[in-house]
Amino acid sequence: MRAALLGLGVAMVAVPDALPHLESGKFVRLLPKWYADLGALSLYYASRTLLPAKTRVFVDLVVEAFRRDRLAERFAGSLG
């Protein structure tokens, strides 16, 4: 990604890492209909019963951030 930012060529960069540069215009998607999908982003934890308060707060924070900032849509490689 650093090399691409320096104008040294083409790079395949994860959307979350490239997103600020795409939105600012520093990066341009060369193949907007092509992407590599590594699958869903998931949070795994042992059980909903007796879930530590810290874990519950973290899960709620991540879920709210994804809703509030539309991160799922913004991070989707399939979107042009």
Domain count, the chain: 1
Q: Structure pTM?
A: 0.55
What is the pLDDT averaged over residues 4-33?
88
Nearest Cα residue to 75 out of 19, 2, 36, 5: 19
Examine residue 36 and state whether it is found in any structural domain, yes or no: yes
Examine residue 25 and state whether it is found in any structural domain, yes or no: yes
**Which pLDDT tens digit goes with each residue over 19-65?**
899 889 999 888 877 777 777 778 887 777 788 888 889 989 999 98
Rg (Cα) of the chain, in Å, rounded? 16
Examine residue 80 and state whether it is found in any structural domain, yes or no: no
Please give the structure tokens belonging to residue 55.
């874990």
Name the burial class of residue 15, with classes exposed (0-12), middle (13-18) and buried (19+) by CB atoms within 10 angstroms of its CB. middle
Please give the structure tokens belonging to residue 69.
């900032």
Structural domain of residue 68, as residue ranges?
2-75
Please give the Cα distance from 80 to 69 (Å, whole number).
18
Has residue 17 got a pLDDT over 80?
A: yes
Amino acid identity at 68: R
Has residue 79 got a pLDDT over 60?
A: no
Examine residue 58 and state whether it is found in any structural domain, yes or no: yes
Has residue 7 got a pLDDT over 80?
A: yes
Examine residue 15 and state whether it is found in any structural domain, yes or no: yes
